[in-house]
Structure 1
Amino acid sequence: MIRINLLPHREARRKQRQKDFVALLLLSGIFGALIVIAVGAYFSNQLSDQQQRNSFIKAENTRLDGEIKEVANLKQEIEALKARQQAVEDLQSDRNQPVYLMDELAQQVPEGVYLKSFRQDGQRVLLNGYAQSNERVSELLRNLGNQSPWLERPDLIEIRSTGIGAGKDAKKVFEFTINAGIKRPRDQDPAATAAPVAAARKP
């Protein structure tokens, strides 16, 4: 016996496919939403961690800036203390400068040169005297510039021919003025300062 299905099976299949399609769309939407939520949560967590790291770095930078300022202040205080200490040492050492200067001039002034005066102004000394010739003045300049551990950078300010004495004792000489720098004792080798100090302390 032949059975004939007169129900609209094609329409039913179409509706079933539509239902399946809608269900698949809903599942896809739900799955997509879950993925978006998961990815958003992941990036939000990463962003939060990065913000925490940034906050930590800022706090550390602020702390380091404070320490750097403290170190800079300490360096300034140390430099100020060194400057004061150096000033005190210079004052103490400058008391012996006349001894060094007298001893040095006695060693460096060549024969044929007579110093009639010298005046110290700070770390410079002005020498005034007579020489038998220009060569004697040149020798004095060389001695002060190259051989003296206490005097440096001598400058010839003036030299002129003049006469001293009268009658038979009159002589033609060269009057000169020299300006030279004085080195501080701290710039000298200890061996260079030992001799003048020892000489100054002898009775």
Structure 2
Amino acid sequence: MIKINLLPIKAARKREYVKQQLILGAVLLVGAIVGLFMWNSAMNGKIDDATKRGTELAQQIEQYTRAIGEVERFKGLEETLKQKLKIIDDLVRGKVGPVKVLDHLSQIIPEKVWLLKWDEKGGRVTVEGEALSLKEVGRFMTVLATPMEESAPTAAAPVPGVAPATAVAPAPAAGAVAAPAAPAPEAAPTKTQHRFFSNIQLVETKSVDDATYHQTFVQFKLTMNVSYSM
């Protein structure tokens, strides 16, 4: 009986199997490393994109915040302007004095001056308000002291050779054609001045910081005489 030793064949097959397993393991390991590298690169890209987007959003939020702050500031100025117009409107409606004087006051108040209180006793007025600066308070006092000019018609000067309107022209001779009457000259307007406010005195001023509008205002109080005669 012939005996065949199969141990070398089994050993060779075993070595081949182990070799294949090692190669497969190496391939899987390399594939896993490559996959992890690609995944890490993709995640880093997403993180960079998210960081960039977050920075852009933060900048947009900051811009919107500044814009909202400006809107709120203008809303506050609008309310202040409405309050100023309401006070003037109340004065014009005759709560404190004649319309002519108060209408004149509403026209001369500088833009950066706001009246908050108007108190009149016996022709002496106490005014309280706010302004953006002492310079604006000075401007307000200057325009208060400036007289108002009004146009008033005056009688026309006589024209040489032209009879007054009340005179009777002589009758024309028989057969003669009457000359047309010369038109009467128009009255020339003249300027008259009227001073509503006098003896204007600045009683007190105080600088106030407004945290809402980030603005410094000057609160002022002045007294003056008012004349309603026209």
- Normalising by the smaller structure, the TM-score range is 0.3 to 0.5
User: What TM-score, normalized to structure 2?
Assistant: 0.39
Q: Name the structure with the higher helix share.
A: 1
